[in-house]
Amino acid sequence: MVRERTLVVSCKQVSELLSQARERRLTLAERVTLRIHLVLCEGCRNFRVQLGVLHEAVRRFVDRGRGVD
Residue 66's pLDDT band (cuts 50, 70, 90): confident
CA dihedral sign, ordered 56, 62, 64, 66: negative
> Would you say the pTM of this structure is higher than 0.85?
no
How confident is the model over 7-49, as pLDDT tens digits? 679 999 999 999 999 999 999 999 999 999 999 999 999 999 9
Please give the Cα distance from 67 to 13 (Å, whole number): 37
